[in-house]
Amino acid sequence: MPPLKHYLPVLDWGRDYSRTALSNDLIAALIVTIMLIPQSLAYALLAGLPPEAGIYASIAPIILYALFGTSRALAVGPVAVVSLMTAAAIGQIAQQGTMGYGLAALTLAFLSGAILLVMGVFRLGFLANFLSHPVIAGFITASGILIAASQLKHVLGIPGDGDTLLETLHALALHLGQVKPVTLVIGIGATGFLFWVRKGLKPLLRRLGLGPRTADIITKAGPVFAVAVTTLAAWAMDLTERGVAVVGTVPQSLPPFTLPSFSPDLLGSLFIPALLISIIGFVESISVAQTLAAKKRQRIDPDQELIGLGAANLGAAFTGGYPVTGGFARSVVNFDAGAETPAAGAFTAIGLAIAAVALTPLVYFLPKATLAATIIVAVLGLVDFSILKRSWAYSRADFWAVATTIVVTLALGVEIGVSAGVILSIALHLYKTSRPHVAEVGLVPGSQHFRNVLRHRVETLPGVLTLRVDESLYFVNARFLEDLVLDRIARDPAIRHIVLMGSAINEIDFSALESLEALNRRLGEQGIGLHLSEVKGPVMDRLKTSHFLDELHGQVFLSQFDAWQALGGKQDRDRAAE
Amino acid sequence: MPPLKHYLPVLDWGRDYSRTALSNDLIAALIVTIMLIPQSLAYALLAGLPPEAGIYASIAPIILYALFGTSRALAVGPVAVVSLMTAAAIGQIAQQGTMGYGLAALTLAFLSGAILLVMGVFRLGFLANFLSHPVIAGFITASGILIAASQLKHVLGIPGDGDTLLETLHALALHLGQVKPVTLVIGIGATGFLFWVRKGLKPLLRRLGLGPRTADIITKAGPVFAVAVTTLAAWAMDLTERGVAVVGTVPQSLPPFTLPSFSPDLLGSLFIPALLISIIGFVESISVAQTLAAKKRQRIDPDQELIGLGAANLGAAFTGGYPVTGGFARSVVNFDAGAETPAAGAFTAIGLAIAAVALTPLVYFLPKATLAATIIVAVLGLVDFSILKRSWAYSRADFWAVATTIVVTLALGVEIGVSAGVILSIALHLYKTSRPHVAEVGLVPGSQHFRNVLRHRVETLPGVLTLRVDESLYFVNARFLEDLVLDRIARDPAIRHIVLMGSAINEIDFSALESLEALNRRLGEQGIGLHLSEVKGPVMDRLKTSHFLDELHGQVFLSQFDAWQALGGKQDRDRAAE
């Protein structure tokens, strides 16, 4: 059994916690706290929850992750894509603003936490690999567009909800006549300002002589500035009278103790969304954690990460939050601000708790349009269509997986979109393996190396057909080889020996074995030898448990060159005997 | 474009149709017709349809297959497994004996026909490969048990229907007190007789001096004899008065012209069952056709077979039938009786049409218990648990696929059973490829061949780690290799060069490429070379479209031996320079 500190990494880094580390962690925590306040409010808005849910979801989860997670810089809390998926999942079950909606959010976090913990305990982290890089890239891009579109209603001050891009745009179009001008000014002004902060402020600060890290951190504080200015404006000019929607009353309280629902009906209907949220959240989190760990030559343990994220989500479920994961923006700020250990996260949690108790009255006049602007600017940074071009250049199958994920996510929503991407990726892979590449090979002169006769100048033996099957033989392609060989010998009656070069055959399953047995019988009836060469150890071990090798009308050679020498020599003898 | 006769094989064999072929075909047709009359009635009973549906389903389909199919001996019509699946599919939609039930059967045949035709036109025959041999074997075995259990009600004369084995047995148990003794005598007598015919009659006939083929054909006529004797007994002794259920009035008519339903609701709810029936039926049919074709060195074209079976099912839909496919028993009798061309099928159809018009009054007194006995004896021949033992010995993954298919089919019904088998097979395959076998290889002394250092006595170069990855690199295992290599170099700081031997890497997809790029960067940072050897043509073609080869901190070698010489020589030079 691994030592306890394997499951509780805090025991590892906590032992030699130094004063330098403490002060670095405190500074990072302060910066992250300031950045997280508007971000947490905004993502709660995106998830359709009251603003405080975003802050609560950043407190307990961040502490629990600090105890159980393996990344030293990851900041756990609400993130854009998971907030969108939460809204999509709960929107089908309850009306926004009702008790049922909040309860469903807690239940979703509870289910996500349970799923992540189970995956961690059973070491199922590899399941995340089924989301290929192209599918994730496509999904994130499409989600970014959906999220940005979902925030337009706040910028315009009109209703405009929808699960899909078309629904959202249609709802907005229906109410275009009611656009609130002051809200629009705030929304567009904040969006424009934040885009400028992103693109123009950092070069400006660098020219003013600031270091790159400081410039970065100030840039990341842009939303805080936009929030402060628009809140002040709304308060001073009494803009709520002019139709500007504001955040309103946020309870001054530490995170409350809450209970998710254990109703089997609700758990059942939220299970698939929770599974998707867990896996997407895990993939997003681990890729951030690994990127940051690589910079400091630290290692991330994916299965322990599942446990850390699982604990964080359970924490969210019992403290008024909703599903959380490791976020890119907050983690990068944390890292850049110099966080050395997960204690920085704990200090951030304390900062947010103070904010929840003391600062919430200050956000009463914060316009929703400003929060929407921060979301729009953040998520448009996720939109990246270059994956379409890159995957098209490299592999059509990958391209179709990306394109399908993007189109289906936009057209039918996040859950169907990501599922379609995964299923299509698997289907395309299976399709490719169902029609494997098979090369007829010959000897590269002056070597013992065998290559494709169509690509290299090689020597072949008359009457001997050597085939290199470039795929494991399994049920999906079991009959393929049989049909191919029978076809070849029907077209070329001079063939007396077939050598199957097994260097690329990584498995022969039961269906393929039966097909090989049938092939061996058919070739035997026609007096043609079936030989094997370069069969791998694990494949040979398995063949030995069957009768195939006893019944084989031919030999098994260790290397293809041995086969060449034996069959070449045999032919010389045959010819001499004639 | 292929010639017309490719799509209409009748144009091929019809041209040189000889008198010998005609007389052989006529004899075979007579024998098959006699055997098919009770079998068709029995399978209609199994499908929950009126008895004449079984005869109608044997007439038009057999002619249409003769026109479009490629097998010369295949006899198309109702078969046991498809009849069971028909009952399971329609039972959820309509009550047996109602108009809706018959209409649903026609619609199911229509959908099956359409699906098969589409698959044939788009050359999707390979989809059948997703049903692995073990899954099919398990499914047929479990279906045999379900079918036999479903017929017990007729043998006992009590109600006893159910979609699953447990439901059926439970329904029977509830009515055990009402067993009809005379029915039971007929049922058990017929079953016992037919088992004896199967096991004992053939050896007896052989001892009496009959040839093996004649003995076989007489044996196959056993059911006809049982039908005749019990029908006569029921008529002479007025057994209907004693509670014996008989077939009753069967209309004297040629197959009627019927229309399937085109209601979108019905089509929608029958689509998945129709898809499963099409694929199972196709797999059963093609394996029979290929077995028989192999005996005469004929070839079967799977995609054309789809068209033949599709036409046959459409024929069934418009002539009062239900889903059909190529049946094992009827095809073997046809073959053994000497059928030379598909014309034998057409003659059989004429024989059955005559029977439908003239002979149906004769089956009025045919006891249903006798028909049930013929089904039970036929399907128990399909039950074969040896696949469990054989697959266990060869491959655990295959064993679990069989066992799951059997258990789920018995417990939850045919549709869920076969789906579970297919999904589990695919999942197990993906799981295996997610954790590929990786061998560290060295040079077999005196050769240029490289093998696993753990299995063979081989030589290795100091500081050079050569890994043969026994799997294509794709998203499911994309990070596996990266993690493995980084782990190895962390444990062994002496490694200066890593050679990836690509002989078993049949594909590198976009996700795996990104992972390789990351690996190359990480190794480059640590001054470790990453080299490739034996990369296959198609894989190299694709790598060349990316920047990976330009950025590679190492070389690409045609053969592993080239890599050995180059890196070995380099070391000598390095050592000399020190």
Instruction: Name the least confident of A11-15, A413-417, B95-99.
Output: A11-15
User: So what's the pLDDT on residue B572?
Assistant: 60
User: Within a 10 A sphere around the Cβ of B132, how many other Cβ atoms?
Assistant: 31
pLDDT in tens, A37-94: 888 999 998 999 999 999 999 999 999 998 888 888 888 999 999 999 999 999 888 8
| Numbers of helices and strands, H then E, in chain B | 25, 8
pLDDT over 60 at B129, yes or no: yes
The three-state secondary structure class of A557 is strand
B397 interaction partners in chain A (CB closer than 8 Å): 509
Task: Flag whether residue A357 sits within 8 Å of chain B, measured between CB atoms.
Answer: no
Would you say residue A572 has pLDDT above 70?
no
pTM attached to this predicted model? 0.84
> Per mean pLDDT, which range of A289-298, A366-375, A478-487, B120-129 is the poorest?
A289-298
Lookup: tokens for B307: 């068209």
For B294-322, write each residue's pLDDT tens digit.
777 677 888 899 999 999 999 999 999 99
State how far the Cα of A346 lies from the Cα of B465, in Å rounded to an integer.
43
Size of interface A-B (CB pairs under 8 A): 173
Q: Which whole number is the average pLDDT over A6-23?
A: 76
Sign of the four-CA dihedral A388, A394, A395, A401:
negative
Q: How confident is the model at residue B31 (pLDDT cuts 50, 70, 90)?
A: confident
Report the alpha-carbon distance of residue B371 to residue B226 in Å, rounded: 9
* Kind plus residue range of the DSSP H or E element containing A404: helix A396-412
Q: Please check the confidence at residue B342 and state whether its pLDDT lies above 60.
A: yes
Residue A333: band (very low, low, confident or very high) from pLDDT cuts 50, 70, 90: confident
Cβ-Cβ contacts under 8 Å for A18 (sequence gap 6 or more): none
**pLDDT at site B25:** 87
Task: Show the DSSP H helices in B492-559 as ranges.
Answer: 510-525, 537-543, 548-551
Give me the DSSP letters along A347-379: HHHHHHHHIIIIIGGGGTT-BHHHHHHHHHHHH
pLDDT band for B550, please (50, 70, 90 cuts).
very high
Are the Cβ atoms of B132 and A451 closer than 8 angstroms? no
A411 contacts A149 by C-beta, under 8 angstroms: no
Chain A residues within an 8 Å CB radius of B522: 294
Distances (CA, A) of B493 to B222, B379, B487: 78, 65, 11
Confidence of residue B23 (pLDDT cuts 50, 70, 90): confident
Q: What is the pLDDT of residues B390-440, one digit of tens each?
A: 999 999 999 999 999 999 999 998 888 989 999 999 999 999 888 888 999
- Look at residue B218 and tell me whether its pLDDT is greater than 90: no
| Residues B518 and B485: beta-carbon distance below 8 Å | no
pLDDT single digits (tens) A184-204: 999 999 999 999 988 888 888
| Residue A541 near chain B (CB below 8 Å) | no
Cβ–Cβ < 8 Å for A567, A464: yes
Among B305, B434, B509, which would you mutate to test the A interface (most chain A Cβ atoms within 10 Å of its Cβ)? B509
Greater confidence, A256 or A213? A256
Indicate if the pLDDT at residue B146 is higher than 60.
Answer: yes
Mean predicted confidence (pLDDT) in B102-122: 94
Pairwise CB contact (< 8 Å): B475 & A506: no
How far apart CA B15 and CA B6 sit, in angstroms, is 14
Contacts of B437 in chain A (CB under 8 A): 506, 536, 538
Per-residue confidence (pLDDT) for residue A290, from 0 to 100: 81
Whether the CB-CB separation of B158 and B178 falls below 8 Å is answered with: yes
Of the pLDDT bands very low, low, confident and very high (cuts 50, 70, 90), residue A5 is low
Count CB atoms within 10 A of the CB of residue A163.
18
Distance CA B224, CA B197 (A): 12
pLDDT, chain A, mean:
88
Q: What is the mean pLDDT of residues A449-474?
A: 91
Give first-to-last CA distance, chain A, whole Å.
69
Please write the tens of the pLDDT for every residue from B371-386.
899 889 888 888 889 9
Distance of CA A406 to the CA centre of its chain: 14
Chain B segment 458-477 residues within 8 A of A by beta carbon are 470-472, 474-477
Strands B438-443 and B450-452: antiparallel
Mean pLDDT for B130-159 is: 90
Tokens of B48: 């929950």
A574 or B351, which is more confident? Answer: B351
The answer to whether B298 contacts chain A (CB < 8 Å) is no
Mutate to test the interface with A, among B132, B279, B433, B451 (most CBs of A within 10 A): B132
Q: Closest approach of chain B CAs to the CA of A545, in angstroms?
A: 6
Short-list A276, A282, A353, CA closest to A321: A353
Which of B234, B221, B141 has its CA nearest to residue B187?
Answer: B234
Residue-level pLDDT at B201: 85
Judged by CB atoms closer than 8 Å, whether chains meet at B537 and A439 is answered as yes
Helix or strand (DSSP H, E) at B529: strand B529-533
Which tens digits make up the pLDDT trace of A502-558?
988 999 999 999 899 989 998 998 899 999 999 998 999 999 999 999 999 999 999
ipTM of the complex: 0.83
Contact: B475, A511; criterion CB under 8 Å: no
- In the beta sheet, which residues pair with residue A452? A441
Quick one: closest CA in B to A526, which residue?
Answer: B297
- Chain A contact for B513 (CB, 8 A cutoff): yes
Mean pLDDT of A284-301: 80
The β-bridge partners of B76 are B326
The pLDDT value recorded for residue B84 is 92
Q: Looking at residue B399, what is its pLDDT?
A: 94
- Listed by number, the residues of chain B in 552-571 with a beta carbon closer than 8 Å to a beta carbon of chain A are 558-559, 561
Nearest by CB: A514 against B133, B397, B439: B133
What SS3 class is residue B501? strand
Q: In the structure, what pLDDT confidence band is assigned to residue B362 with cuts at 50, 70 and 90? A: confident
Answer whether B394 sits within 8 Å of A545, measured CB to CB. Answer: yes
d(CA A274, CA A330): 23
Tokens of B452: 């696993």
Question: Measured between alpha carbons, how far is B103 from B259 in angstroms, rounded to an integer?
Answer: 8
Q: Residue B12 above 80 pLDDT?
A: no
Percent of chain B predicted with pLDDT > 70: 97
Q: Which of B219, B347, B341 is nearest to B292 (CA)?
A: B341
The tokens describing B194, both together, are 């037919």
Q: What is the mean pLDDT of residues A394-402?
A: 92
Question: Which candidate from A129, A133, A434 shows the least CB-CB separation from B434?
Answer: A129
pLDDT of residue B274: 95
B436 and A506 within 8 Å at the Cβ level: the answer is yes
What number is the average pLDDT over the span A327-355? 86
Rounded mean pLDDT of A219-225?
82
CB contact under 8 A, B129 and A507: no
Q: Would you state the pLDDT for residue B3?
A: 62
Residue-level pLDDT at B501:
93
Q: For residues B577 and B25, which has the higher predicted lDDT (pLDDT)?
A: B25
What are the CB-based long-range contacts (under 8 Å, 24+) for A89-98?
A: A89/A270, A89/A273, A89/A274, A89/A277, A89/A415, A90/A47, A90/A48, A91/A48, A91/A161, A91/A163, A92/A269, A93/A266, A93/A269, A93/A270, A96/A48
In this prediction, residue A577 carries a pLDDT of: 52
Whether the per-residue pLDDT at B1 is higher than 60: the answer is: no
